């Protein structure tokens, strides 16, 4: 079985408060052995970067201003994770953002049944 180890960086703590994803990083494994397939995108959130978030990941609004937006990378991301188990540390945080972003552009959201939370 193929798995995806996934992590995101964001502008803040809650999608519902208007925060956005600024980075998605994924590594594919097959039976937990890396396949050398990766998905990594820096994303223009089209909003300011709070100082607290900048201190965590170091991505400034200026640095991200010429990157693709989430709607521009969504199909590639969904194709990369399609049909695979997704392993995330503190999954409710990442899935909340990912599904918020996907819903906002009318894309299919990630089924939580495919997600394993390594924090739990």
Q: How far is CA 91 from CA 9, 67, 85, in A?
A: 13, 25, 12
pLDDT tens digits along 13-39: 999 999 999 999 999 999 999 999 999
pLDDT tens digits along 47-91: 999 999 999 999 999 999 999 999 999 999 999 999 999 999 999
Rounded Cα distance, 120 and 113, in Å:
14
Task: List the structure tokens of 45.
Answer: 């959130």
pLDDT for 96 beyond 90: yes
């Amino acid at each position: 079985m193929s798995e995806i180890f996934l992590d995101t960086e964001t502008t803040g703590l809650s999608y519902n408060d208007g925060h956005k994803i600024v980075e998605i990083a994924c590594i594919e494994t097959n039976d937990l052995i890396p396949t050398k397939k990766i998905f990594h995108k820096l994303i223009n959130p089209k909003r300011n970067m709070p100082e607290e978030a900048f201190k965590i990941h170091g991505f400034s609004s200026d640095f991200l201003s010429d990157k693709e937006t989430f709607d521009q990378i969504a199909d590639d991301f969904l194709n990369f994770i399609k049909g695979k188990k997704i392993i995330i540390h503190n999954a409710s945080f990442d899935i909340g953002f990912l599904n918020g972003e996907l819903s906002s552009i009318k894309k299919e959201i990630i089924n939580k049944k495919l997600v394993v939370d390594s924090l739990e």
